[in-house]
Amino acid sequence: MCEILLEKKDMLEKKYGFNYTVVAISDIMKGSVYDKNGLDVAKILNLVKNGKKLDEYPTGIKGMDSLATIKETNANTIVEVTFTDVKTGEPALTHIKTALSTGKNVVSTNKGPVIKKALNLLDIADSNNVNYGFEGVVLAGTPVLNLAKYTLAGNIISGFKGILNGTTNYILTRMEEGMSYDSALKKAQELGYAEADPTGDVEGWDALGKVVILSNIVLGKKLSLEDVKREGITGISIDDIKKAKAEGKRWKLIGSAEVQTDGSVKAKVSPEKLSFSDPLAGVCEAVNALTYFTDELGPVTIIGPGAGRRETGFSLLIDLLEINRKSK
Amino acid sequence: MCEILLEKKDMLEKKYGFNYTVVAISDIMKGSVYDKNGLDVAKILNLVKNGKKLDEYPTGIKGMDSLATIKETNANTIVEVTFTDVKTGEPALTHIKTALSTGKNVVSTNKGPVIKKALNLLDIADSNNVNYGFEGVVLAGTPVLNLAKYTLAGNIISGFKGILNGTTNYILTRMEEGMSYDSALKKAQELGYAEADPTGDVEGWDALGKVVILSNIVLGKKLSLEDVKREGITGISIDDIKKAKAEGKRWKLIGSAEVQTDGSVKAKVSPEKLSFSDPLAGVCEAVNALTYFTDELGPVTIIGPGAGRRETGFSLLIDLLEINRKSK
């Protein structure tokens, strides 16, 4: 994120009238630094790359913790990028609530608070006349949330269906080519797609979080993790995949939700056999995709990256540019 | 368009704070009517449905031609929906220029003026502090232009590749199932996808116009129709399609452009054999799709309708909502 801001500073100013000054950085491992007149981001990146702490930055105030940084600095926007805890949402939830309540914009890629408290946090943002942007929590920098909110505005979106987890899609793509599940998983781990304990991905937990987020944000329904049926890909055998192939079909792990006629929402994560006329069937490798079902346009699908350090960092810029647009 | 505005009046007001009054309508066949206090749209739709002229509307001023309607009414936004002439851009070009120069916003689905003079018209809009929206000229209401401008903002887009014509994609889909070109074309004509003279679609002229528009608007390059190589689908035989199928591939009519290292742009319309790992390969029937090549996210693809009365009408609402957002 810092790298993108630095590399694109001129372009962002020229094309979008977007100016920024980074005044503070706080990290639980690397320490913190604050200078109300601004920090030299290039210098900081250099420090960190060389394994040094922020205390070694030549000027500024050191030692403020994250909450002090949020409350006591002159920042008008907080970039929240702590680790994700989907069970409690913490520590991000407190960070974000504090920032919004004290009249600061927040941009964040942290799924936890969005899963736990999205609508509540958006209300706090509204009543303090600030913004809470989290484009990156679903499909990284692929702009699915802004797509629904702005570019599809005027439609009624009655449901969605998507490939919301890149790791499982990568594994299924390899299995489609004949590789065993175990080898495909190992390869995904080597490439950094899957973690040592792959449960979060392969059992559908990651996709589940995204279904909850999309149901809340896009469909406006209050769903929790417990409300969604979940099944991962571990039950799919090479044989199942071959059989599907013979029928001209492909297995994909699909997260979906559909508003019912009584206003309730039916949501689930499960493997589905798609025919090739479904745009999601052609989405291979670690790529993600999402189809919205709209009243005016029918199905509209967007396909793009669902993870990646730079791609996720970029999502923060989408949110910052949106705040910048609104402030004009 | 009028139907959508009417049906969604409450929703548009509640959700987007969007209010409107239709003050004038002018049509070369059906006549014109103007009332500075607003017209009853439902009543007008009823008149037209019963084959009557606008002169039969009970109140208001009759007989103003289109230019008088643009210049002399109290409208602040003009909805331009005359027929398309890609060679001259007229009469829409004059309508739009007149409206923008006199400080009125324009929303339009007319390709002609965009192909001929997009950048010039956008300049006029800028210097008069108004907007010229034309989301519908490429992929109807599927928001490809707003996607590039807003939700992908911050990316450098170096090229695009798309299925930009629904008729030819419909024909290729039927041929893929074994139907002959002639039967598939006939079916497309029966369904209203293709015109009696199908040249515009099957020889790639329609896709060509869209490549020019996207090159100008999204890539910022000045291209004319003459600068783009064009080949349609009439040279593709059932045999070619069968051969491709055996290789696990599919023929699609692709419009594309790519910025070269010297800053020039290479653009073309031609049939391409896509492998199934290309998200465009799975796009069937009359559906359209577009892939943008971005520096931060890699390829991002959007798939949606490319034509249709309601879908195209809806694109005008996207533009109106965008103007509404900007005016807040």
Mean pLDDT of B58-72: 96
Residue-wise pLDDT tens digits, A96-147: 999 999 999 999 999 999 999 999 999 999 999 999 999 999 999 999 999 9
- Could B154 and A8 be called an inter-chain contact, meaning their C-beta atoms sit closer than 8 Å? yes
Note whether A301 and A313 are same-domain residues.
Answer: no
Residue A309: which pLDDT band, with cuts at 50, 70 and 90? confident
Residue A98 lies in domain: 2-142+309-326
pLDDT of A220 over the 90 cut: yes
Note whether A90 and A10 are same-domain residues.
Answer: yes
Residue B308: which pLDDT band, with cuts at 50, 70 and 90? confident
Q: Which residues contact A189 (CB under 8 A, 6 or more apart)?
A: A195, A196, A198
Residue-wise pLDDT tens digits, A32-64: 999 999 999 999 999 999 999 999 999 999 999
Note whether A110 and A182 are same-domain residues.
Answer: no
Mutate to test the interface with A, among B126, B155, B250, B301 (most CBs of A within 10 A): B301
pLDDT of residue A160: 98
Note whether B226 and B283 are same-domain residues.
Answer: yes
Residue A226 DSSP class: G
Mean pLDDT of B66-94: 95
Note whether B114 and B182 are same-domain residues.
Answer: no
pLDDT of residue A258: 98
Number of domains in chain B: 2
Mean pLDDT of A158-183: 96
Q: Which pair of structure tokens corresponds to residue B232?
A: 């349609």
Note whether B71 and B107 are same-domain residues.
Answer: yes
Note whether A196 and A301 are same-domain residues.
Answer: yes
Residue-wise pLDDT tens digits, A236-264: 999 999 999 999 899 999 999 999 999 99
From B169, B95, B116, select the one nearest B139 (Cα to Cα).
Answer: B169
pLDDT of residue A277: 83
Residues of B annotated as catalytic are 210
The Cα angle at residue A245 between residues A243 and A250, in degrees rounded to 5: 105
Q: Out of A147, A296, A314, name the one closest to residue B310 (CB).
A: A296
Collect all residues of chain B within an 8 Å Cβ-Cβ radius of residue A302. 300-303
Q: Which pair of structure tokens corresponds to residue B72?
A: 């002399």
Residue A307: which pLDDT band, with cuts at 50, 70 and 90? confident
Note whether A200 and A299 are same-domain residues.
Answer: yes
Collect all residues of chain B within an 8 Å Cβ-Cβ radius of residue A318. 151, 153-154
DSSP strand pairing (A249-259 vs A229-230):
unpaired
Q: In whole angstroms, give the CA distance from residue A166 to residue B212.
A: 34
- Could A302 and B302 be called an inter-chain contact, meaning their C-beta atoms sit closer than 8 Å? yes
Residues of A annotated as catalytic are 210
pLDDT of B147 over the 90 cut: yes
Mean pLDDT of B21-37: 95
CATH label of the domain that carries residue B151: 3.30.360.10
Note whether B20 and B165 are same-domain residues.
Answer: no
Instruction: Give the minimum alpha-carbon distance from B249 to chain A in angstroms, rounded to a whole number.
Output: 12
Residue-wise pLDDT tens digits, A76-85: 999 999 999 9
Q: In whole angstroms, give the CA distance from residue B172 to residue B181.
A: 8
Note whether A122 and A156 are same-domain residues.
Answer: no
CATH label of the domain that carries residue A94: 3.40.50.720
Collect all residues of chain A within an 8 Å Cβ-Cβ radius of residue B155. 314
Note whether B131 and B205 are same-domain residues.
Answer: no
pLDDT of residue A215: 97
Q: How far from B120 is each of A20, A307, B80, B93, B239, CA to CA, in Å?
A: 32, 39, 17, 11, 46
Residue A328: which pLDDT band, with cuts at 50, 70 and 90? confident
- Could B143 and A154 be called an inter-chain contact, meaning their C-beta atoms sit closer than 8 Å? no
Note whether A109 and A174 are same-domain residues.
Answer: no
